[in-house]
Structure 1
Amino acid sequence: MTSLDGKVFSWICLLFLILEITHTEDDKCMHSDSCERCLSTHLECAWCTGKEYTVGYRCLSRSQLLANNCTETDIYENQPVLDVLQDKPLKDYETTDQAIQVRPQRAYLKLVKGNTQRIKLSYRTASNNPLDLYVLMDLTWTMRDDKDTLEELGAQLSQTLKNLTGNYRLGFGSFADKPTFPMILPQYKENPCAAERAQCEPTYGFRHQLSLTDNIPAFTGAVANSKITGNLDNLEGGLDALMQVIVCTKEIGWKEQARKVVILVTDGFMHLAGDGLLAGIIERNDKQCHLNEAGEYTGSLDYDYPSLEEIYRELLRRKINVIFAVTQNVVSSYRELSALMKEISYVDILSADSSNILELIKKSYESLIKRTQFADNSPDYIDMVYYTDCGGQFPTLQKRNYCNNVNLGKEIDFYVDVTLKKYPEDKVYTHKIRVEETSLSEYMDLDVELQRPCPCQETPEPENEFGRFQCQDQGYMYCGMCICDSGWTGTFCTCPIDSTNVTSNEALLQKCRQPLADRTTSELVCSNHGDCDCGSCQCDIGYTGPYCECRECLDCDEKLADCFCGQCVCKYGWSENGCNCDVDTDACVGPTGEICSKRGTCECEECQCEEPYLGKFCEIDPEKDNKLCLFYEPCVTCLIEQKQGMGACENLTQICSSLDRQETYSYSFVHELDPEQDQCLVRMVNKHGMQCDSFFVYKVVDHSNFLTIQAVDCEPVDYVALVGYISAFTLLIGLLIIFLILWCIRAKDAREYAKFDEEQRNNVRQENPLYRDPVGRYVVPKALSVKYDENPFAS
């Protein structure tokens, strides 16, 4: 393309851009030929029903209809409304008032067909929220030591719950199984523990022993007074008992505003719906309460076990969470069960004697309150889609109605898009929709009104001259639409029925609607880019095709693409809108050999990742795994083992090479890794038998793999050296202390002596003036003077 051609092309693009900008909503509206189609074309479209309106296009924007002298009373338009009716601020639980964890609490929506209204919903877990915890315990023979442990831990359980919330209540119940063959042996009916040469309680289905209370001694006493029983198989009637705990609201004492939790403690599997047939029990579980005054389940021999689906629906409906505290041998089965109702259940491993039950309650409760999920009861013709970033966990809004690992006290915003897809067949235009948190009695009520289809209250006037004139005197005007005489059809009754072989205006317009792949036709007449003239589309400037469905191509490079129905169809080897991208995906193939880790598409030699995946090859899942960490892990493990003298891996070259086995990974060991880089964890057992965690980072440049490894040497404690070091250190400290003491003593003595010496020098002798020394002292002069007056012996 020459420079001049490029300038011409740029001017053409600019011209079409200006035309596109000036292509207002009025232009989109004007091709609609009926009120209902007009309003569904665009939110800004309005329909004029006035008889005196003379402009050809009745579907325009409100402002243009008024400018064309359509009176306001004759204009019917879309009127979406969003009004928040109740929006109390979020607050924590107080003894005098309930917590508020969802806002707003109520809103009014007026929905227009095809238009989406977005409402913001905020959620925050309230601190000190009431907790109702019901302990449902398997008291068959194998759980006898667990009962004793729970009884001993009663006081500690109180402290554990106080650390979670200061407002809690406890309840207790126990279960075994249906007291009939083949769940028990008839000869052991009165003493099912006879086979163990012990005495125990006759088998019962479920026994409610203590309603929810804040009296901890009462809970401990209820556990102590409960009796061990037994059954024949390793399948228990836990679902029977759980259903009664759920539905017996009054007997259990569930509080509406509390977070309701059942912890089911067992070491066995559960009977499911249909197992009652083995005992001749064919009546389906009726999901009703059957507890007598003593708390005994009276329907154990009358009703079959409930199904998981029935349990799940009742848990959801009554906002009750369930924690399965089960032993290691059955935990996998309960995790599969919990996966079917993951938003309201949790599974953890119970130790053999239940000694970790307090830790388990704390862990599971914190897991439950760190998860939030919302659901609604909207009808199928109203679509509700949720978006959230989970309080900053994601860089952008994600299409999801739940969040995990929510920090306590963190406010989470959900954006709910509400769309009316179609009008209800029952013509009911007011609805109440509740958006509620799945595990709490917290919700937002939406009062929804659907905008009705175009009403028409005019009286038909088939002989009105002006109305017939507007319909070419081959019909009459009614509510802004032509009602054609026999033999004529079309928007303005200009099409004779004989030539078009159709009998109605709707059938004529159907010929101007584009057929779709699913054997239906588009709702748009001439794709909204032209007028339907007797079954044929007369397209607007810039559009072409039998249904005006194609735009003229403006930016197709003839060397790289062909124009087909307004689209640049790239020639072999090129892609993207401008066909300027090489289709080669080699740059998107990661070390695993997958294109974008099968989590995205390769566009212009770069991976465009699906939500929520990240990374150069879409290898990072923010919530789960990193595919490249898992891919490099065997290689890094071998390199660390080799470095630490654990022996060389036999297949090191194989597992540390690229897929084509032509290049070995480059690697280096460092003391510290860059904290800003995404680090991968390698957990291994070293030569000392210790579990040791090391970290590494990877980099892929032109299919070359670079590994930077921070190998941690987890050495066992050398007690001999440790004792030696401590002894030497102690001796050194002792010598240092002795030296300091001696130095202090010498320094003190030196100061005292200097003080004494100074006093001696400054001492002045005091003598008595009357005292005369009796000792005479003479000094022989060194030289005799010759002077007489000085020397009497001088000559």
Structure 2
Amino acid sequence: MPSFSGSLLLLLCLLLSLMLIATITIDEQCMHSIDSCDRCLNTHLDCAWCTDKEYQVRSRCLSRSTLLRFNCSEVHIYENQPQMALLQERPLKDYETRDEQAVQVTPQRVFLKLVKGNTQRLKLSYRAARNNPLDLYVLMDLTWTMRDDKDTLEKLGTELTKTLHNLTDNYRLGFGSFADKPAMPMIMPQLRENPCAAEREICEPTYGYRHQLKLTDDIKAFTAAVAGSKITGNLDNLEGGLDALMQVIVCPNEIGWKQQARKVVILVTDGFMHFAGDGLLAGIVQRNDRKCHLNKAGEYTGSLVYDYPSLEEIYRELLRRKINVIFAVTEQVFGTYKELSGLMQEISNVEILSADSSNILELIEKSYESFVKRTQFGDNSPDFIEMKYYTDCAGQFPSLRQRNYCNNVNLGKEIEFYVDVTLKDYPENGVLTHKIRMEEASLSEYIDIDVELQRPCPCVEEPQPEDEYGRFQCDDKGYLNCGMCFCDEGWTGTFCNCPTDPTNATTNEALLKTCRMPLDKLGKSISSQVCSNHGECDCGSCSCDPGYMGSYCECLECSDCDEERAECYCGQCVCKYGWSGTRCNCKESTDGCTGPTGEICSGRGSCDCGVCSCQEPYKGTFCEIDAEKDNKLCLFYEPCVTCLIEQKQGIEGCKNLSEICSNAESHERFTYGFVEELDAEIMCLVRIVNKHGIQCDSYFGYQVIDHANYLAIQAVECEPANYYAIFGSISLITLLLGLFVIWLVWCCLRMKDAREYARFHEEQANNVRQENPIYRDPVGRYEVPKALSAKFDENPFAS
């Protein structure tokens, strides 16, 4: 119970401290930043600085309203002035005609004036436009195993038109093909001119990448380009797809990408791809330069000059140029491309291609819809400006979540992002104007932010070293300029009241550094707050506000420390020798925690104000109870209880009862008693072998009151068995059981005979006697009746 009250008191103290901090006013936070205008404005957003020479209050750093109340001229007040202005805010709009541009992000341009440490929230809205232009470039693997896929794509001209019309009315198509680098070991040198000779077929010599059709809205031209392409081959199942993809990305003029269109490349293949470094196998060591190398015929001329690009290089170029890629691959290689797509999931997708590419239209439609339903924003903010994105993804979440992307948003739904912009520090180069662009990951939609960093204190005054009033405010050892004292040689401090010799500090900043609390043991990192913002720095030492103490005013004063029992150390009572507890109200004695074994809390806990505080999972007054092992006190009392039971039952062998049943330290004998029924919270088992040689279990309980030991014992006397009585009882029971069985069998037989006899009588009664005609008497006899009836119906001879 004392430990609980101590915890409750500690909680109340913590709550009071939090309430005290909450009640600190803006003026109280500002008033300690009196040494410079810069530090004043950085202390709190609402802090203002007064440069008026006629101002007579000591602290020039207060809230604006307080400075005006203290007669500071309004024109001499400098304060934080964060600003936000919308410079361009066109409403969201779908794509309507070819001459107009859709608006998918609003606003388009914003001005922000940032103050250090202050956060401004900017709201942006995004909605995917309907009928937005689509540029779809089909990049196809035309090695030998893809010949049936080419034929399928060639036949899908009309259906492809219908599919794209379902997505948008404004689309264009382009086409290109790839194989691999025409060099050993990617091809066999003897099959260079006809790589399909092994299949007894004739095909195109191996090439790296061939751009065959610029993006166009002419479907017939697309079909003709596919039909005009020719199958080629290579040696392994690794293709040069990344070589081709890089050229599709970095050749915008040759491919014909439109700036405002949603740009999509669908890469169709059934094989794996070579990555950077594989070119070494063919002696190609020059790194891919990420530049366009297409000749007028659309051939990639750098195939034997540059190595394959890395996945990271492809990813960066896709992001920079706002191009999405769909990997349409067969099931055998799907897992590899799934992992590859996962590394650039915001701009890529992977789908399973059927064996003959017959489902390619379905894949295009499915992937395009997934791109449209997904959005992600990023920015190019410098390190000293922090930007955090929050959104509920058009109601997908009950509240805002910190994330810069949304998935599975229905077309036409407007998504709102809230961006918190915070100036963490000023740039080292001193540049105060910057431009930040927030842009959508897969579209050329963005917001430009013109950022201005507010100067901490833009005051510019003509110095007046001889002004008497200005020197008076600086203790006649300096002059006032912009509300700050500029000290004469040999003096420093906020008010030039500190000589430089004793402190060995020549600047006010050096003095303030001594009033800033170190944040590590070596003192290399120090707090930005002077005197923890709870006091003033007076010539290198802190003068704390009421209620605070410490070298840096970092501690609250102790309010309930008894000077006789404790000393105050940084807001906490540190108990003197002989006292303990959260309020030092417990004498430092462990008598109440010392059990009969002589251990403090059985070595399983700590003594808190005379009461054991047990470690998990131990319990009990002295932490003696362990759920998995034996009770320590049960083991301690067991020899004494065993001796007492043996003595009671007349068993010889326990001769030193007085020593066993007494405390080793005080030599006080245990108090015990034998009971018929044991009523104790803690029951201990003791097992002995009695004088009859029988193992017998008894129970006992214990109590420790004021170091006195009380035992209650329930002794069980286990008598030997009477074998004669047992044999006689068993014999009598056996005889009676046998007679009962015989009687039961006799009754069953009698009942069975009775049933058989009754059945016989029933059969006799129902029996009909039958006579054989052979043995029937052949002589018929008729006996005339003695008297005839007078009735005609009975006697035909009646008249």
Q: Look up the match of 1:437.
A: 440
Q: Look up the match of 1:240.
A: 243
Preserved CA contact (<8 Å) 2:36 2:484? yes
Q: Look up the match of 2:463.
A: 460
> Which amino acid is the alignment partner of residue 117 of structure 2?
G
1:701-720 matched pairs, under 5 angstroms: none
Q: Look up the match of 1:27.
A: 28
1:322-361 matched pairs, under 5 angstroms: 322-361=325-364
1:485-524 matched pairs, under 5 angstroms: 485-517=488-520, 519-524=524-529
Task: Describe the SS at the equivalent of 2:313.
Answer: helix
Mapped to 2, the partners of 1:274 and 1:18 lie a distance apart of: 64
> Which amino acid is the alignment partner of residue 62 of structure 1?
R
Mapped to 1, the partners of 2:102 and 2:217 lie a distance apart of: 19
Q: Look up the match of 1:599.
A: none
Gaps of 5+ in 1: 557-561, 574-581, 586-795
Q: Look up the match of 1:229.
A: 232
Q: Look up the match of 1:306.
A: 309
Q: Please report how far the alpha carbon of residue 487 of structure 1 lies from its aligned counterpart in structure 2 after TM superposition.
A: 2.6
Q: Please report how far the alpha carbon of residue 542 of structure 1 lies from its aligned counterpart in structure 2 after TM superposition.
A: 2.7
**Closer/same/farther in 2, CA of residues 9 and 284 from structure 1, 3 Å limit:** closer
Bigger Cα displacement from structure 2, 302-311 vs 173-182: 302-311
Matched, 1:172 2:172: no
Matched, 1:548 2:550: no
Q: Look up the match of 1:533.
A: 538
Q: Look up the match of 2:194.
A: 191
Equivalent of residue 125 in structure 1, options 101, 125, 128: 128
Mapped to 1, the partners of 2:195 and 2:145 lie a distance apart of: 12
Task: Describe the SS at the equivalent of 1:390.
Answer: coil
Preserved CA contact (<8 Å) 1:262 1:320? yes
Q: Please report how far the alpha carbon of residue 519 of structure 1 lies from its aligned counterpart in structure 2 after TM superposition.
A: 3.8
Mapped to 2, the partners of 1:564 and 1:312 lie a distance apart of: 58
**Closer/same/farther in 2, CA of residues 553 and 147 from structure 1, 3 Å limit:** farther
Equivalent of residue 59 in structure 1, options 58, 61, 66: 61
Preserved CA contact (<8 Å) 1:13 1:554? no
Q: After superposition, what is the alpha-carbon deviation per residue over 1:181-231, rounded to whole angstroms, capped at 9, x for unaligned?
A: 221121111101111111000111111111111221221111111100011
Q: After superposition, what is the alpha-carbon deviation per residue over 1:436-490, rounded to whole angstroms, capped at 9, x for unaligned?
A: 0010011111111111232342232333222221111222222211122233222
Q: Look up the match of 2:137.
A: 134
Q: Look up the match of 1:714.
A: none
Q: Please report how far the alpha carbon of residue 14 of structure 1 lies from its aligned counterpart in structure 2 after TM superposition.
A: 11
Preserved CA contact (<8 Å) 2:42 2:456? no
Q: Look up the match of 1:770.
A: none
Q: After superposition, what is the alpha-carbon deviation per residue over 1:683-738, rounded to whole angstroms, capped at 9, x for unaligned?
A: xxxxxxxxxxxxxxxxxxxxxxxxxxxxxxxxxxxxxxxxxxxxxxxxxxxxxxxx
Gaps of 5+ in 2: 562-566, 575-580, 583-603, 606-613, 618-799
**Closer/same/farther in 2, CA of residues 36 and 147 from structure 1, 3 Å limit:** same
Q: Please report how far the alpha carbon of residue 100 of structure 1 lies from its aligned counterpart in structure 2 after TM superposition.
A: 0.9
Q: Look up the match of 2:165.
A: 162
1:680-695 matched pairs, under 5 angstroms: none
Mapped to 2, the partners of 1:72 and 1:142 lie a distance apart of: 82
Q: Please report how far the alpha carbon of residue 350 of structure 1 lies from its aligned counterpart in structure 2 after TM superposition.
A: 1.3
Preserved CA contact (<8 Å) 1:112 1:451? yes
Q: After superposition, what is the alpha-carbon deviation per residue over 1:39-97, rounded to whole angstroms, capped at 9, x for unaligned?
A: 11111111122333221101111222222222233222111000111111111111142
Preserved CA contact (<8 Å) 2:390 2:417? yes
1:64-75 matched pairs, under 5 angstroms: 64-75=66-77
Task: Describe the SS at the equivalent of 1:91.
Answer: coil
> Which amino acid is the alignment partner of residue 195 of structure 2?
P
Percent identity (aligned): 74
Q: Please report how far the alpha carbon of residue 545 of structure 1 lies from its aligned counterpart in structure 2 after TM superposition.
A: 2.7
Q: Please report how far the alpha carbon of residue 521 of structure 1 lies from its aligned counterpart in structure 2 after TM superposition.
A: 0.8
Mapped to 2, the partners of 1:510 and 1:187 lie a distance apart of: 79
Q: Look up the match of 1:589.
A: none
Preserved CA contact (<8 Å) 1:384 1:419? yes
**Closer/same/farther in 2, CA of residues 535 and 205 from structure 1, 3 Å limit:** same
Q: Look up the match of 2:324.
A: 321
Q: After superposition, what is the alpha-carbon deviation per residue over 1:253-291, rounded to whole angstroms, capped at 9, x for unaligned?
A: 111111100000111111112222222222222222121
> Which amino acid is the alignment partner of residue 184 of structure 1?
I
**Closer/same/farther in 2, CA of residues 392 and 483 from structure 1, 3 Å limit:** same
Q: Look up the match of 2:639.
A: none
Matched, 1:86 2:110: no
Mapped to 1, the partners of 2:39 and 2:255 lie a distance apart of: 57
> Which amino acid is the alignment partner of residue 548 of structure 2?
Y
Task: Describe the SS at the equivalent of 1:85.
Answer: strand
**Closer/same/farther in 2, CA of residues 116 and 563 from structure 1, 3 Å limit:** farther
Mapped to 2, the partners of 1:458 and 1:257 lie a distance apart of: 52
1:392-471 matched pairs, under 5 angstroms: 392-471=395-474
Equivalent of residue 47 in structure 1, options 43, 46, 49: 49
Task: Describe the SS at the equivalent of 2:303.
Answer: coil
Q: Please report how far the alpha carbon of residue 411 of structure 1 lies from its aligned counterpart in structure 2 after TM superposition.
A: 0.9
**Closer/same/farther in 2, CA of residues 491 and 265 from structure 1, 3 Å limit:** same
Mapped to 2, the partners of 1:9 and 1:321 lie a distance apart of: 59
Q: Please report how far the alpha carbon of residue 567 of structure 1 lies from its aligned counterpart in structure 2 after TM superposition.
A: 8.6
TM-score, length-normalised on structure 1?
0.68
Bigger Cα displacement from structure 2, 154-163 vs 24-33: 154-163
Q: Please report how far the alpha carbon of residue 541 of structure 1 lies from its aligned counterpart in structure 2 after TM superposition.
A: 2.2
TM-score, length-normalised on structure 2?
0.67
Mapped to 2, the partners of 1:583 and 1:345 lie a distance apart of: 55
Alpha-carbon RMSD across the aligned residues, in angstroms, is 3.2
